[in-house]
A and B are shown apart, each in its own frame.
Chain A
Amino acid sequence: GEDVEQSLFLSVREGDSSVINCTYTDSSSTYLYWYKQEPGAGLQLLTYIFSNMDMKQDQRLTVLLNKKDKHLSLRIADTQTGDSAIYFCAESMSGTYKYIFGTGTRLKVLA
């Protein structure tokens, strides 16, 4: 089945780390993505991870993938007020551009 779940809200203080979690059900997923959506805007790709990887780091962003539990997380270090947005995880399979998106997590960064 196709189902990607995320917690709805997360609130952190500026300078702290944020961890956004996602669970997915399709074990045949090849790529997993994190997108950011600011109010009134489209989707901005933050990072992605291939399903045979466990971790990927890109500046302030760290993605962890637990394939056994089908769990994906995005850690944002030194969270800033500009990081306030909705974050979506998404999965896809090799050979298709059909993305399955999660429900989104609204991150609020408190100054």
Chain B
Amino acid sequence: DAGVTQSPTHLIKTRGQQVTLRCSPISGHKSVSWYQQVLGQGPQFIFQYYEKEERGRGNFPDRFSARQFPNYSSELNVNALLLGDSALYLCASSPELASSYNEQFFGPGTRLTVL
């Protein structure tokens, strides 16, 4: 069975540009969350989407946006890139919005470098 997939694996952009990252959840999973992992730190929660609606948002500026499609895949968009946006962006999927046991399955991530 395929796990969570993300594309692209690596990306290099320059300051001020815009980027779109993609995530396909595990088949049957309806919830997708996005995390930013800066080098040397733990992942930081950005968004959670469920049934195409935003259900949670971390402490990130409005330059960060996301959406979820009818097939439950998701895109993360970052506008006006800053050097500090360089990070590994992780996508995680889970079966439902919330349950008694909150396991998320993480993808391999997209490594974004902003020059």
A-to-B contact residues, CB < 8 Å: 4, 30-31, 35, 41-45, 48, 88, 90, 92, 94-104
Contact = CB atoms under 8 A, between A and B. Distances in A.
Contacts, number: 65
B67 to A, nearest CB: 17
Contact of B108 (A42, A98, A104): A42
Contact of B102 (A35, A96, A102): A96
Given A43-B43, A103-B41, A97 B33 contact: yes
Given A42-B109, A97-B92, A48 B103 contact: yes
A90 B94 CA distance: 16
A43 B100 contact: no
Contacts of B44: 101
- In order of increasing CB-CB distance, the 5 nearest A-B pairs are A101-B42, A43-B106, A42-B108, A95-B98, A42-B106
Q: With a 10 A CB-CB cut-off, give which of B43, B94, B105, B109 has the most chain A CB atoms.
A: B43
Interface in B9-64: 31, 33, 35, 40-45, 48, 56, 58
Contacts of B41: 103-104
Contact of B42 (A30, A31, A45, A104): A104
Contact of B107 (A42, A90, A97): A42
Contacts of A103: 40-42
Interface residues of B, number: 28
A94 B105 CA distance: 17
A28 to B, nearest CB: 13
Contacts of A30: 102
A85 B92 CA distance: 20
Given A42-B90, A43-B90, A94-B98, A99 B108 contact: no
A88 B42 contact: yes
Nearest to B3: A42
21 contacts: A30-B102, A31-B101, A42-B90, A42-B108, A44-B106, A45-B105, A45-B106, A88-B43, A90-B42, A92-B102, A96-B48, A96-B98, A97-B31, A97-B94, A98-B33, A98-B48, A98-B58, A100-B45, A101-B44, A104-B40, A104-B42
